[in-house]
Structure 1
Amino acid sequence: MLSLLLFGCICCCCTFGLSFCPVLCLNKRSKNEVNKLLDWENARLYHKIGLHWHLTKQKCSNSAVQEYVLMIEFRPPLSLSQPD
């Protein structure tokens, strides 16, 4: 991924900024893959113990940069004595 970013920076002048498109697409695909994995893990394990994990965009305090943060929410655990 870093090599694509460096390649995009080098070619940016020649392509009028279009060389950054592969990096942006890979970033979106990576975010979607992480969200799918978190949903699967939540359904398989974490909802049973009362947790919910998800990605959230959060702004850094000292700059305008935004980053993705793994948030953990506490939920009431499922009752194991009741049938599904």
Structure 2
Amino acid sequence: MIKDQNPLEGSGMYSHLTRTEVERELLKHKELMKKKDGHIRELEDYIDNLLVRVMEETPSILRVPYVPSRKAGKFNQS
């Protein structure tokens, strides 16, 4: 049987803080999460737009399996 535990028990790094300080930390973390979510959304939009451009310009590279006509950075030796 698992006994109920207080989620704040054992969180030593916050145990010395007052309730107000913990609330302040929580608000900071929420703001940070909001910024990260926005950044993730921007990256997802960028990837979506990039994929659309690839589909329009060179859809053949999206074939599975993709077989490149030549290796990047390699030159044919003649």
| TM-score, L = length of structure 1 | 0.39
| Greater RCO, 1 or 2 (C-alpha within 8 Å, sep 6+) | 1
Greater share of strand? 1
Compare the two structures and name the one with the higher helix fraction.
2
Larger Rg: 2
